[in-house]
Amino acid sequence: MSEVNKQDIKAIVFELNNEEYAIPVQQVGSIERMQHITRVPQTEDFIIGVINLRGVVTPIIDLRKRFSIEKTEFTNSTRIIIVYINNMEVGFVVDAAYDVIDIPENAIEPAPEVIGTVDVDYIEGVAKIDSRLLMLLNIEKVLSSQEVDHLQSVEG
């Protein structure tokens, strides 16, 4: 086994609508099981509420709603991935989160104009690893600066 190249990206792989996505591990705080989410009025419909995670009120975003993917029931494999956006913790609800992998930098290609059901603006690039195709999520683009400001007021 070759040693890890300094250009490799260590990423958490998660599933949404039978497609695989990846987020760099340095942007991820933790992966949590589904738990009670308290609804917050007057927020975007994809912001499904907040959780109290170890004493921190954390806004939760349903990535299916954000990406206009058909909603499904939460299952035992549904997870909340806690990510850091602009010095704030935000939870992304995903269908499953299952492994950490090293993505060689040379395996990453720019995102094509059309990728499945997800708007290409949210995608940093696409990595081809063996028979897998991973879409690298740009978490900063998942929320606009106005949405982040609004969430910070919810969080506060």
- Is there a domain that residue 27 lies in? yes
- Is there a domain that residue 4 lies in? no
- Three-class secondary structure assignment of the chain: CCCCCCCCEEEEEEEECCEEEEEEHHHEEEEEECCCCECCCCCCCCEEEEEEECCEEEEEEEHHHHCCCCCCCCCCCCEEEEEEECCEEEEEEECEEEEEEEECHHHEECCCCCECCECHHHEEEEEEECCEEEEEECHHHHCCHHHHHHHHHHHC
- Is there a domain that residue 101 lies in? yes
The CATH number assigned to the domain holding 94 equals 2.40.50.180
Q: Which domain holds residue 60?
A: 9-155
- Is there a domain that residue 129 lies in? yes
Note the pLDDT tens digit of each residue in 90-108: 999 999 998 899 999 888 9
In this prediction the pTM is 0.86
Per-residue pLDDT for the chain (156 aa), expressed as one digit of tens each? 445 455 788 999 999 999 999 999 999 999 999 999 999 888 888 899 999 999 989 999 999 998 888 888 999 999 999 999 878 899 999 999 988 999 998 889 887 765 555 556 788 889 988 888 899 998 888 776 667 666 666 655
